[in-house]
Every structure is written in structure tokens, then in C-alpha cells.
Amino acid sequence: MPHDSQPMKPKALSGTFILATGFILLLYNGGSRFTMGLMLSPMADDLNWTRATLSLTVTLFMVVSAVVLPVIGRLVDRYRIRTVLLASVLLSSASVALMSAIQTPVQAVVLYGVLFALATAGTSIAPIGVMISRWFPEHLGLANSIAISGMGAGQLVIILLLTAQLESIGWRGAFLVLAGLGLLLIVPLALLSIPEPALPSAETSNEPLGSAKSELKASDLLRDSKLWYLLVIYAICGFQDFFVATHVVAFARDQGMGAVVSGNLFALMGLVGVAGVLMTGFVSDRFGPMLPTIICFAIRIVLFGLVMVTTSVVAIIGFALVYGFTFWITAPLTIVFVRKYFGTAHLGMLTGIVAMVHHGAGGLGAYAGGIVYDVFGSYQVIFQIMLMVSFAALLTTWLLSRIRITST
């Protein structure tokens, strides 16, 4: 059914519930989507598959979840979020549970690369961000950062839990634990009634009718350099993020770290990621989204340069933890950028498009890492590529900052 037009009740309790809902949903989303990085090495050894084969599954996951994000965004623009969340968490738990029984690459592709991808998109940052934006328009950066910090917390809590159990229950048992967590944490929450304010109508919207922001057309967007700059920034970010998320544990193990230590290192990336995303909320609300974006890619230039020079244990730990700080920086800024440049009339759809590009490029990054490793026997070539695209992202961010926003 279309979204009910009920008057908004601006009560602190409702706002707190919305933030808690977003945080817990993204906690599971953030923890579950990165488990393949933890499972990569033991699955490859047990099933006698190459890392490129498993990385291709991650790539398909990213592409599928990316392609459906604009559709998810459009549904969120028009309908209640609760239905999308409930269907998504049920599909997520079912597909992850079935992953525990796979025997062939085709099964992994269908269950993880397609079904789990569809489910993950339904509880991703894009729909949660729109939900948050309806309740906290005045402090969108900080509110969105608080909810998105759930992804870093999930990366910490869920990965730590699975790492502790991985050697005793194996990767198949770990997938079953993950499925149970989904049902335990998310289904009861999604069954609750999520209060939502009324969507803005033409009469109540603070964006004038006939403005470029209220009546966006596809042809206008394709000619808008702001959108293209934004897509380039998020494509590079996704390319880097999911390369690191998929391969950092395997990279650490290649350098002699134990399975538990390297798994815990990835989990700790989630902890420092919480600090990074909360910093982003404060900074973006005060100075705008450009500054934290510049900080993000400037740090990454240093990090990728570091691991090209040394792969000592100290360097790897430093790389992982500091990269973890940058991991979620651009996530809460997506909706801030979109609202700043394009208004709120198509917030869900445009946020979905940006997220689609981020995730699609992320799939390429994950697969590229696997291919480079299989061809060269190390990750040094892909680190060089990541260094170059960091410079490109920094330049693109500067170009976007030079564009003046004109009101009509």
C-alpha cells in the first residue's frame, strides 16, 4: 500500500526508536556483508577453489545489490519501509543458512551472489538513510552517522564472534550462526511498527514547484556535472573499500599472521570505523561534506603508499586500523551530498543510484584483488592501482567543490 499520509509526531521517543532501528539493522548488515572476507581463505582451501572464484561471487553480490538499489530507493520514496525490511531480513537469513551447505560455485553464486545481495540491498544504507532523513532534516549528517555506525559495530561484534568460533565450527557452521543472528536481531525488530512522518507533498514541500530540485528529469541529470563527479568519487571509494574488505584478512595471513589474529584485526577495523563515521557526522554538519571526503582520500594515499614500501606486521596492523577509520566516512555523506545538490523530491532514487555505483565498483575491486593475486602471487600491483585512484578521487572532490550551487 502507498505510504500513509499521517501527521508527523515530533517526539524524542520516536526519533530515538528510529535511530535504534537504523543502528541495529545496519549492525547486522555491516557484519554479514563482510563475512566473505573472513571465510575467503578457509573456503578456498576446503572446497579447492581459487580466490578469484570466490572473489567473483563477491563481485556478483556487489553488482546485484547495486543494480537493485535505485529500485529499493524508489520503493522507499513511495511506500512504507517496514515491508521492505521484513522481506529483506527473511531472505537474508534463508540465503545465508543455505550457504552452509554449498558444494559448487554455482550454488555460491545463486545464494550469496544473487539472493543474499537482494536481501542486503533492502536493509542497506540507502533505505535506512532516507528513513533517518525524514526525522532529522536539521542534523542529517550526525543522525545518519549514528545509524551508520551500526555497520562498524556489526563488523566488530559479528566478525569477532565468528572469528572466535571459526576454527571450532568451521565456515559452514559460521554461516549458520550468521543466519541465526539475523533472525534473532532483525526479524523481531522488523515486525514492530516503525513510526514514519508523512512524506512531503507538493503543497508542504519547502522546495518550490518548478525548481530544478523538485522536478528532476533524467536528461537534466545526465547533463549535470555534479552528478558525474559524485559518481566518480563513490565509484573509487567502493572500488577500494570492497577490495580491502574482501582481501585484507587473506593479505595479513599471507604475511604470517594467524587466522584468529587476522580475523580480529578485521573486526577492530569496524571499531575504529565507528569513530570515523561519528567524526564525519560532526564535521559534515558544521563544515559540509567536502572536508571529510578530502580527509578520507588523503589518508588512503598515505596508507596505500605505506604497504607498497613495507609489509611488516606493524605496517599491516597500522594499515588495517587506519583504513578502518576511513571505511565509513563517505557512507553518511551520500544522502547529504544528494540533498545538497538535488533536493529531496527524489532522495531515495538518487541515493540508490549513487550507492549502486559505489557497490558495483566495489564488486570490481573485490574481483580485481583476486585476479591480481592469482596472476602475480601478491597484492602489490593492486596496491599501486589503489594509490593512483586515491589521487583521482581527491582531484574529483576538489573539482566538485568548485561548482557553485544555483537556486532557481
Mean pLDDT, rounded, for 74-84? 76
Q: What is the pLDDT of residues 96-146, one digit of tens each?
A: 999 999 999 999 999 999 999 999 998 888 788 877 877 777 777 788 888
d(CA 237, CA 276): 15
Q: What is the pLDDT of residues 318-364, one digit of tens each?
A: 999 999 999 889 988 988 898 888 876 677 778 888 988 998 898 88
Please check whether residue 211 lies inside any domain of the structure. no
d(CA 386, CA 156): 25
Say whether pLDDT at 95 is over 90.
yes
d(CA 125, CA 85): 12
**Mean pLDDT over each residue of the chain, to the nearest integer:** 82
Please check whether residue 351 lies inside any domain of the structure. yes
d(CA 101, CA 170): 12
**Residue 25: which domain range?**
18-196+216-401
Closest-CA residue to 309 (of 373, 243, 384)? 384
Q: Which residue has the higher pLDDT, 252 or 141?
A: 252
CB contact at 8 A, 316 and 255: yes
Please check whether residue 260 lies inside any domain of the structure. yes
Q: Tell me, yes or no, if the pTM score tops 0.85.
A: no
Q: What is the pLDDT of residues 144-199, one digit of tens each?
A: 888 888 887 887 788 888 888 888 899 999 999 999 988 887 666 665 555 554 44
Please check whether residue 392 lies inside any domain of the structure. yes
Map the chain to HEC letters.
CECCCCCCCCCHHHHHHHHHHHHHHHHHHHHHHCHHHHHHHHHHHHHCCCHHHHHHHHHHHHHHHHHHHHHHHHHHHHECHHHHHHHHHHHHHHHHHHHCCCCCHHHHHHHHHHHHHHHHHHCCHHHHHHHHHHHCCCCHHHHHHHHHHHHHHHHHHHHHHHHHHHHHHHHHHHHHHHHHHHHHHCHHHHHCCCCCCCCCCCCCCCCCCCCCCCCCCHHHHHCCHHHHHHHHHHHHHHHHHHHHHHHHHHHHHHCCCCHHHHHHHHHHHHHHHHHHHHHHHHHHHHHCCHHHHHHHHHHHHHHHHHHHHCCCHHHHHHHHHHHHHHHCCCCCHHHHHHHHHHCCCCHHHHHHHHHHHHHHHHHHHHHHHHHHHHHHCCCHHHHHHHHHHHHHHHHHHHHHHCCCCCCC
Backbone angles phi, psi at 79, to 5 degrees: -130, 170
Please check whether residue 114 lies inside any domain of the structure. yes
Please check whether residue 30 lies inside any domain of the structure. yes
Place of cell 526508536: 17
Say whether pLDDT at 85 is over 90.
no
Please check whether residue 162 lies inside any domain of the structure. yes
**Residue 253, beta-bridge partner list:** none
Nearest 5°: the CA angle 91, 111, 194 is 20
Say whether pLDDT at 58 is over 90.
no
Q: Domain count of the chain?
A: 1
CATH of the domain at 68: 1.20.1250.20
Please check whether residue 204 lies inside any domain of the structure. no
